Structure 1
Amino acid sequence: IWFMHESAHFSRVARDHLNRNYGQRWIGREGSNYKKYSSVEADCTKALELNSKYTKALLRRARALEQTGDLEAALKDSFIVCIHEDVSNKTSFLKLHEIYVKLVEQQVQENLANRKFLLPSKYTIKIFIEYFPKDPVFSRLQHPTNFPQFFKKPLEALKNAEYDDIIPLCTEIIKSDEFDKLSSSKLEVLLLRATFYILLGDYVSAIRDFESILNSEDATDDVKICALIKRARVYVKLEMLEIAFEDFELAISINARYGDIYYQRGQTYLLMEKLDDAKRDFERAVECNSNFGMAYLLTCYVDFKLAEENLDLRLTRVVVKKFERAFKRFLNPPESIYCYTLYADVQLCLNFKKADACLAKAIVKYPEYAVILETRGLLQLQWHDNIDKAMEYFNKAIELDYKCETAYKELGKLEIRRENFEKAIKLLDKALIFCCTYKELLQIYILRNSAKVQLDVKNELGSIPPILRSISDFIKIQNVEKPDWLKRTSSAVQLEVKTNYFISKQLV
């Protein structure tokens, strides 16, 4: 479209100026007469200086920006087009959606490829340890006077919750000249290091250590089983469910009475919302180990979800009674805290006041645990949308533990609602530091882009049209449902995991 023919968009003075300076150009056309996208962008910008609502120029500049890789700027232009058109043009909206998806995927990939690995909070690690009561390394903590001399430093660090020291201490032992000469318990050093690689989010290194254990003839059955179920956990995180379930079956074939296997598989079924299968596995875990507190609490929780699904009031009352008895049974953290948070989740559907009272009691009893404050903050929003109270609890949680990803994310969401976009972006940037799975990163980048585009539009248009929020909400829903696990990891992880997958297939 020639500038001189755009009489509907420009005054006579503007058309005369454009015809003199750009008479032989197609504005923003990427055809044979105009290949340089940076020049397209410059021409469109000139046109928009004369008429900021010229949607064709905005669209063409968005395409040029997309081609040069400036997806954030392209997204802003696409949003403004949709605002001017009142989302009436399907082509414009589809282009907006395409750029939005492309930007989020690019951001997640860059984050995964360049991120610095960080361990989660101490509470998260303590809960993780409770998931594996039969773990041969964790079991050694019950007899601290009997630590093997070569393994003493990493085990002391584990006992004292000096978690940042564990991987370096294990690596020092593994790289020593004496390592190959040690007894078969040396493989527990690899198991401990692999465990903390999982917590770190370094799945490639974890898988390598698990492979070393499983390929060793010296590995005991307990060490092999633990390696298999923890490797399965990695595959679940990568959504490679087929091979994860193969690892669970291999572990069962070694020892069908090993309760940790059923607990981990039950958690996988719970993630898949297969409640009956999850219930069966959690109950089996308790049968194998009657002292497995986490498994028992999840049998209660799954019973509640089933009662809720089937509108079974009798079962609901039974579950509530079970939780109330569990408080007397599990007196120490982290099981006791897990009991409080799960019970509060149950009461959310029954009695908000009781849920809040439960968490208030937990905070008094365990003031050092940030997770309870996070949970109570979420309750304030679900109960009566009390933003101020929720923000108070989230900020207190961060004061206790600076690694509270959920608190940063929720505060970011609340600042978006308050239109404090710059503050929201800073909070979401902090949340990005502490999450390492594709799904978590995806959710936070979607929120961050929503805040960023609203800030940019507000700066450009002077206000935020209500329709902008509707567009953002629709795109959030569309984007979260995107499935392909291969797009959820860095290229290094993809290569390593795919290679191990095909090798395991050949061995079978």
Structure 2
Amino acid sequence: MAASTRAVSSSGLSLPKWQIALAIGAPVALGLGIWYYRSRTNKTQSAEKEDKQIKKNVADAAASVSVPIETQKDAKKVNGIGKINEKESVAPVVEEEEDPFKQAQTYKNKGNKYFKEGKYSDAIKCYQQAIDVCPKDKIQDVSTFHQNRAAAFEQLKNYEAVIRDCTEALKYNGKYVKALHRRAKAYEITKQLEPCLEDITAVCILEAFQNQSSLLMADRVLKELGKEHAKEAMMNRQSVIPSKHFVNTFMCSFAEDPVFNLLKRETQQETDEAKGAFAKALDKLKDKEFDNIIELCTNELDTESSDIAIKRLARLLRGTFLSLLGEHEKALEDLSEVFNDPDADPQVRVNALVKRATLRMQLGSPEESLHDLLMAAELGPENADVFHHRGQVYMLLDQANEAISDFAKAVSLNGDFPIALVQKLYTDYRAAVSMSNAQKVAAALTAFEDAIRRFPSCPECYLLYAQVLSDQQEFQKADEYFMKALEVDPENATAYVHRGLLQLQSAGNVELATKLIEEAIRMDNKCEFAYETLGTIEVQRGNLRRAIELFDQAIPLSKTEAEVSHLFSLKDAALAQLKVALNLGVTLPSPMN
């Protein structure tokens, strides 16, 4: 499977999202740590009501709402009250000389009684009367009356009225948690996700991130909003070739690639003029100059005199780079055409199938991916790449036994496939941990050291072993192996990111972690993993504007809609925090500083 920062992939470089979150102390919702806040000011603004339109229309609003049949029947039984209209009053008779504020409380209490009895339209009338008579200086009470009426409208599924009344309530009390939460629910139901996110973010802040229900709602809204933004972004995205290191790692995950293996062969020296377009593409691939490879492959395919076998390889290489570029539909078309050619070399067809399966898994189609890999196993039963990449898919699907079996098969078919070997060892380790089998855990650690001695120039061996050591709380030794990986591969930006995460996990050293990840970005300005991780840390530090900038840099580097959606969720969370903190007049100090 292609190198990825989303889960442990063929590169062996990456942490799942939940592990990143644990390393920096982030909870489920908002991508943020638990923030305690303090008010900059404790002022209450007094405002004139602006509900004349509500007052004028409330009887119509109540009468027009569809009330359940049992509610209408109950209404006829209480005080002889039947269907509500503008001329009928459900409130008790009140003496004129009674204090207006007491009158308002009486109306409110009557409304509460109706509400408890399920007579929501009657309750709405009472709350309106409470609003009408309440003195204007009793702003907290007026706010409560509006919020209560919103609750009644909510029961009747009149969500526009809910939003309107909650907004009125918040004019009098901007930190009214019940009104914010109720309006957020109405916004969510009516698919107004951005204002919904702002409201539920305000609720989380005012509750000091202690209410799990609010946090889960925020997480749910962020995911939905992220999906919306991702769809729009994917329609307008510009293709970006990944970094040289990413492409190299991807190539190393295929031990039997018919195109990549051509680079290992000695070829006759030819002048540039004598070379065909595909030969020039191979030169670019060998020199890690990837920008023109797709164009050169297209030129080869457009050449009428070209050898048909060369054309198939050119199409396979073009499909590979279209996939890396994020041009998924075009990549699927090329890879499918190669596989569907019955006259093509079986190894070429198998490679096309494996890459198509990898791409389908990235696009969220695991069943189609496994179907492709099953066909690949039938067509190429001795091809180690098939079982290595199918093991990857099984790992992502949490099917550990199947993954272990396939990784073992890949290693048995090709003993000189270091990435497949360490991936097998990592899977063995995870299985031993899940069984709490200390003997098997120790055996897995020993096997990792044997693999490193056997493949001392493979950085992935050091990187995955370092992650295992970190999981075992052997932080110093883990850092030593991350540094050994950098000795073997000095331009490995991902290793710097993992070192940064290790500093957070082991010592809470935010400054050193930040410096290491910034070094990763300096080394590889296309390392999406580094931008996202540093952005999440900056959120923890309270540097929201900087975090937003980093997420903006990560988004165009992501290749799938799911990845883009996740990044937009992080960005949207930070934007909402900024806006809400300003609106509420609160400071959100960082636990990391």
Taking structure 1 as the reference length, the TM-score comes to 0.77
- After superposition, where does 1:85-484 map in structure 2 within 5 Å? 99-146=221-268, 149-174=276-301, 176-178=302-304, 182-332=307-457, 336-350=458-472, 351-464=474-587
- Alignment CA distance shift 1:56-1:157 (3 Å): same
Work out the CA distance in 2 between the residues paired with 1:196 and 1:127. Answer: 14
Moved more, 222-231 or 238-247: 238-247
Paired position in structure 2 for 1:12 = 136
- 1:310-337 deviations in whole A, cap 9, x for unaligned? 23333333332332232332243xxx11
Work out the CA distance in 2 between the residues paired with 1:377 and 1:93. Answer: 27
Work out the CA distance in 2 between the residues paired with 1:411 and 1:128. Answer: 24
Work out the CA distance in 1 between the residues paired with 2:165 and 2:386. Answer: 63
How far did residue 426 of structure 1 move? Answer: 1.0
Work out the CA distance in 2 between the residues paired with 1:9 and 1:388. Answer: 59
Cα contact 2:277–2:299 (8 A) shared by 1? no
Q: Quick one: which amino acid aligns to residue 108 of structure 1?
A: A
How far did residue 60 of structure 1 move? Answer: 8.3
Matched, 1:79 2:204: no
Cα contact 1:41–1:64 (8 A) shared by 2? yes
Cα contact 1:170–1:193 (8 A) shared by 2? yes
Work out the CA distance in 2 between the residues paired with 1:229 and 1:461. Answer: 53
How far did residue 443 of structure 1 move? Answer: 3.0
Greater Rg over alpha carbons, structure:
2
Work out the CA distance in 1 between the residues paired with 2:312 and 2:414. Answer: 25
Q: Quick one: which amino acid aligns to residue 424 of structure 2?
A: T
How far did residue 450 of structure 1 move? Answer: 2.2
Paired position in structure 1 for 2:14 = none
**RMSD over equivalenced CA pairs, Å:** 3.8
Give 3-state SS (helix, strand or coil) of 2:242's partner: coil
How far did residue 228 of structure 1 move? Answer: 0.9
How far did residue 348 of structure 1 move? Answer: 1.1
- 1:216-271 deviations in whole A, cap 9, x for unaligned? 24311111111111111112222322222221221222231111111111111122
- Alignment CA distance shift 1:64-1:9 (3 Å): farther
Cα contact 1:28–1:61 (8 A) shared by 2? no
How far did residue 352 of structure 1 move? Answer: 1.2
Cα contact 1:29–1:60 (8 A) shared by 2? no
Give 3-state SS (helix, strand or coil) of 2:256's partner: coil
- Alignment CA distance shift 1:290-1:141 (3 Å): same
How far did residue 397 of structure 1 move? Answer: 0.4
- Alignment CA distance shift 1:29-1:153 (3 Å): farther
Q: Quick one: which amino acid aligns to residue 534 of structure 2?
A: L
Moved more, 213-222 or 257-266: 213-222
How far did residue 126 of structure 1 move? Answer: 0.9
Paired position in structure 2 for 1:52 = 174
Work out the CA distance in 1 between the residues paired with 2:214 and 2:433. Answer: 43
Work out the CA distance in 1 between the residues paired with 2:430 and 2:211. Answer: 43
- Alignment CA distance shift 1:92-1:307 (3 Å): closer
Cα contact 1:425–1:448 (8 A) shared by 2? yes
Q: Quick one: which amino acid aligns to residue 156 of structure 1?
A: D
Work out the CA distance in 2 between the residues paired with 1:166 and 1:139. Answer: 16
How far did residue 296 of structure 1 move? Answer: 1.6
Give 3-state SS (helix, strand or coil) of 1:132's partner: coil
Paired position in structure 1 for 2:35 = none
Paired position in structure 1 for 2:19 = none
- 1:181-227 deviations in whole A, cap 9, x for unaligned? 53322111010011111212221111100122123243111111111
Work out the CA distance in 1 between the residues paired with 2:456 and 2:186. Answer: 62
Taking structure 2 as the reference length, the TM-score comes to 0.67
Cα contact 1:184–1:218 (8 A) shared by 2? no
Cα contact 1:263–1:285 (8 A) shared by 2? yes
Cα contact 1:28–1:41 (8 A) shared by 2? no
Work out the CA distance in 2 between the residues paired with 1:316 and 1:94. Answer: 35
How far did residue 83 of structure 1 move? Answer: 5.7
- Alignment CA distance shift 1:209-1:50 (3 Å): same
Work out the CA distance in 2 between the residues paired with 1:206 and 1:95. Answer: 37
Cα contact 2:253–2:419 (8 A) shared by 1? yes
Cα contact 1:171–1:193 (8 A) shared by 2? yes
Cα contact 2:276–2:300 (8 A) shared by 1? no
Q: Quick one: which amino acid aligns to residue 490 of structure 2?
A: P
Work out the CA distance in 2 between the residues paired with 1:346 and 1:293. Answer: 17
Q: Quick one: which amino acid aligns to residue 184 of structure 1?
A: A
Give the number of equivalent residue pairs: 451
Gaps of 5+ in 1: 19-25, 470-508
The percentage of counterpart residues that share the same residue type is: 35
Q: Quick one: which amino acid aligns to residue 293 of structure 2?
A: I
Q: Quick one: which amino acid aligns to residue 135 of structure 1?
A: D
- Alignment CA distance shift 1:150-1:318 (3 Å): same
Q: Quick one: which amino acid aligns to residue 460 of structure 1?
A: N
